[in-house]
Amino acid sequence: MKNLIIDAANDKIVFSIITEKQSYTTAHTNSRENFDKFMKLLLSFLKKNKINLDDVQKIFVNQGPGKFSSLRISISVAKAISLAKNINLIGFHTKVLINGNYKQLLELDKKNLLIKDLIKPLYSS
């Protein structure tokens, strides 16, 4: 099972693919320039790691807290991919991550402790 994690709630834009056996992660500066090419960065990450969106079973997206622009672009892209490819969409908040360990999301999802389908951003002041 391949899981895509999109996290732009903090100082970095992080894309991660986690499978049962391995994981791939990349990070980019959370900046206006990278918002403009957000989808291009994501597709480049997937291509580099030979991952096809048709092979992704779940998308996890960080709902915040975070800056308005960061959350809007990341959630919008995650929702668009989810709808276009019929992939389950799951939201999480930064506070559930311990030391930025995205593998924890898979365990939390198994226990039904994450938000499915209803994504509600939490904007910081």
Higher model confidence: residue 30 or residue 119?
30
Name which of 107, 104, 116 is nearest 61 in CA terms. Answer: 116
pLDDT by residue (tens digit) across 55-104? Answer: 999 999 999 999 999 999 999 999 999 999 999 999 999 999 888 889 99
Say whether 28 sits in a helix, a strand or coil: strand
pLDDT, residue 87, reads 96
pTM of the model: 0.92
Listed in sequence order, the DSSP H helices in 1-125 are 32-36, 38-48, 68-85, 104-110
pLDDT by residue (tens digit) across 93-118? Answer: 999 988 888 999 999 999 988 878 76
